[in-house]
Amino acid sequence: MDRTEVYSRLKGVFADVFDREVELKDETTAADVPGWDSLTHITLIGAVEDEFDVKFAMKDVVGMKNVGEMVDKIIELADE
Amino acid sequence: MNNRLLAYPFDANLIMRKAKALRRDLSASANLIEKRIAVLGGSTTHDVIAMLELFLLDNGIKPVFYESEYNQWWEDGVFGNAELDVFKPDVVYIHTSVRNVKTWPAIAADAAAGDLAGETVGKWRAVWEKIAEKFKCPVIQNNFEYLPYRLLGNLDAVDRRGRVEFVTRLNAGFAEYARTHDGVYLNDINWQAADFGLARWHDEAYWCMYKYAMGKAAIPVVAFNAANIIKALFGKNKKALALDLDNTLWGGVVGDDGPENLELGTETAVGQCYTEFQEYLKELGRTGVLLNVISKNEPENAKAGMNHPQMVIKEGDFISVKANWEPKSENLKAMARELTLLPESFVFVDDNPAEREIIRQQVPGAAVPEIVQVENYISAVDHGGWFEPVKISGDDLKRNAMYSENAQRAQLQSSFADYGAYLDSLEMKATIKPFEQVYMSRIAQLTNKSNQFNLTTKRYTQEEIVRTAADAAFVTRYGRLEDRFGDNGVVAISIGEMKGDAMELVLWLMSCRVLKRDMEFAMMDEMVAEAKARGAKTVRGFYYPTAKNGMVRNFYATQGFTKMSEDALGNAVWELDIAGGYEPKNRHIKIERS
């Protein structure tokens, strides 16, 4: 799975969870997206896991710093 | 039940992901009733509330929530807090789980010593009692699911120090309390977790990271069940089943295969499945759900099938049978009219996807389970939660009998040319008395369930009914009607409020199963007599239109009242002058009074 495909599917997940289009790039963090609070984050992580049929380890969830790292982790898990 | 995504078996993850859009769509529906729900949590309740909101909206209830601070269920419950007091909940939902059991039997302790289970239940009981005293509203309480591990292996279920055994005892204590106290309802998450799969239910990462009591995919299950209890409390249960015959109640097509070749009975695996499905439905009928048939068949073929020796549900167990070639949506609407039910009170069970689709489109509000394989029929009907009984009353147990008695009455009626002579032949006897303790729950149930013959559609909780009955400013009467075919139970409720020299009828309702029996006249005679005894000169009635109570728009005109005012929305005030005398209107019912 390449980054372009991951990004395109990720945008679909964000659009559902936030109920609107969200601009995403590698450096995007929760602080850049209105409404991305800790509770929405939980829903988001769950929805991302379902979309890509992956399960993040707890340390991954705690460690992700931005969207780019999330994409890296998705590619890593999906390719296993 | 209108949104396909929220119908069982739902995709929990998809609902969670699309929650915002679902909420937006569902909130736009018309005729939502608002209810105030306090959620007191022992874990993070954010998503529980989000899911509860969706399922309630889907049932026509618009919830307004109070959410306790994290894990403040006990403090809020026992000590209260100002915000919760002002909130005045209609329902309190205590969302606790096995994660909130803080003290477990010690392995080193004497297994027989003390009553830790009793003390633990007592901690919860303090909250239930406090809420009952303060808010006088229903409480929904989760019981406990099992832990995802067993320190003692299989002995965990046996030894008093085992946690499986301990949870079992706690759950028995909770159930005992709910069984013996009105207004406390268990949300059985123990069964839900078993059904869901305990290993999938628990998610240690979600607990450690977010303090979620159960994994994300289990949250909609818990909320769905809690919502089913709430909608049942507010009268949103379905009441009847409309069942297809061919490949739904039996395997095969009776018109093509002949009744002797139907798959039914224990000889074949497929026949066994149909038999078990019928056994399930027959039991459901015994709880008060009305069993009916809508089948595309020649009437004589349908009859031959229903008289198959292996049928568990006998022809006489069905209240109404429509076997013809008309569209099923038309049959369903006609059946609803005959049984004086609303079409949306039905659950439509049919193996044919095209028929299901017609009902979904033509009868919005009716429930249409996706039954696909006969081995899954029971689960598809059962898990929908459409009939969720919160209590089984004597009337529920007799309901099928009452409706078949109605069918006999209809037959008798056709043999009389004069309607009055027919009514006399019924030998009706009514008991009309002030509210009595034994009927409080039935009375509250009626105020929440009656939509059509209901002038003000005012809903009461059981606690409010009890309070109103005790208040000297109110006149309360219930009416119970018997006739030669049987006991109809409590079918009419009236509440008058004394205001100066007038009595205002704040509640006037009647069950549609006794329409055109003159029961409403008997009730009015009794209410007017009491109004006079209390010195009233006027009886004032109100009609507040809803989507469903059009049949009583002119009720007060037929009772001899005069319309005093009516606003643009159709809300009307009617008055009857009783100072100059009142001519009793009931001619056909013998009355037993207080």
Q: How many CA atoms lie within 13 A of B267 on its CB side?
A: 6
d(CA B263, CA B280): 17
End-to-end Cα distance, chain A: 11
Give per-residue pLDDT as tens, B130-141. Answer: 999 999 999 999
d(CA B452, CA B466): 24
| Chain A positions in Cβ-Cβ contact with residue B24 (cut-off 8 Å) | 19
CB-based contacts of A73, cutoff 8 Å, min separation 6: A56, A60, A64
ipTM confidence: 0.83
What's the predicted TM-score (pTM) here?
0.78
ω into B9 cis (within 30 of 0):
yes
A50 and B13 within 8 Å at the Cβ level: the answer is: yes
- Chain B: residue nearest A44 by CA? B17
Q: How far apart are CA B253 and CA B264, in angstroms?
A: 12
Task: Yes or no: say if B73 and B127 are a contact pair by the CB < 8 Å rule.
Answer: yes
| Higher-pLDDT residue of B1, B316 | B316
- Residue-level pLDDT at B112: 61
- Residue B20 distance to chain A (closest CA, Å): 6
Quickly state the pLDDT bin for B111 (edges 50, 70, 90): low
**Which pLDDT band, with edges at 50, 70 and 90, does B594 fall under?**
low
| pLDDT higher than threshold 60 for residue B528 | yes
Q: What is the dotted CATH code of the domain comprising B422-592? A: 3.40.630.30
Min Cα distance B543 → chain A (Å) is: 42
Which amino acid, B57? L
A35, closest residue in chain B (CA to CA): B20
Whether B77 contacts B94, CB under 8 Å: yes
Nearest to B16 among A18, A47, A62 (CB): A47
Domains B4-233 and B422-592 share a fold: no
* pLDDT cut 90: percent of chain B above it: 79
Cα separation, B344 vs B546, whole angstroms:
16
- Can you say how many angstroms the Cα of residue B282 is from the centroid of all Cα atoms in its chain? 19
Cα four-point dihedral sign A29, A31, A36, A39: positive
Does the beta carbon of B21 lie under 8 angstroms from any beta carbon of chain A? Answer: yes
Query: What is the model's pLDDT at position B484?
Result: 83
Nearest C-alpha in A relative to B212: A42
Please state which architecture CATH assigns to domain B4-233.
3-Layer(aba) Sandwich (3.40)
pLDDT digits (tens, 9 = 90+) for A15-57: 999 999 999 999 999 999 999 998 899 999 999 999 999 999 9
The torsion of the CA quartet B131, B132, B134, B139, rounded to 10 degrees, works out to 40
CA distance linking residue B128 with residue A13, whole number of Å: 41
Cβ(B560)–Cβ(B589) below 8 Å? no
How large is the average pLDDT for residues B413-417?
73
Q: Is the pLDDT of residue B299 over 80?
A: yes
User: What pLDDT, in 10s, does the model give residues B320-365?
Assistant: 999 999 999 999 999 998 888 999 999 999 999 999 999 999 998 9
From the CA of B200, how many Å to the nearest CA of chain A? 13
b or e along A27-64 (b: 16 or more beta carbons within 10 Å of the residue's beta carbon)? ebeeeebeebeeebbbbbbbbbbbbbebebeeebbeeb
State whether residue B16 sits within 8 Å of chain A by CB. yes
**Sequence ranges of the domains in chain B:** 4-233, 240-382, 422-592
User: Residue B418: which pLDDT band, with cuts at 50, 70 and 90?
Assistant: confident
| Residue B74 near residue B102, CB atoms below 8 Å | no
Domains of chain A and any CATH numbers:
3-78 (1.10.1200.10)
Q: Is the pLDDT of residue B162 over 90?
A: yes
User: Domain B240-382 belongs to what topology?
Assistant: Rossmann fold (3.40.50)
Reduced DSSP (H G I as helix, E B as strand, rest coil) percent helix, strand, coil of chain B, to 5: 45, 20, 35
The gap between the terminal CA atoms of chain B, to the nearest Å, is: 43
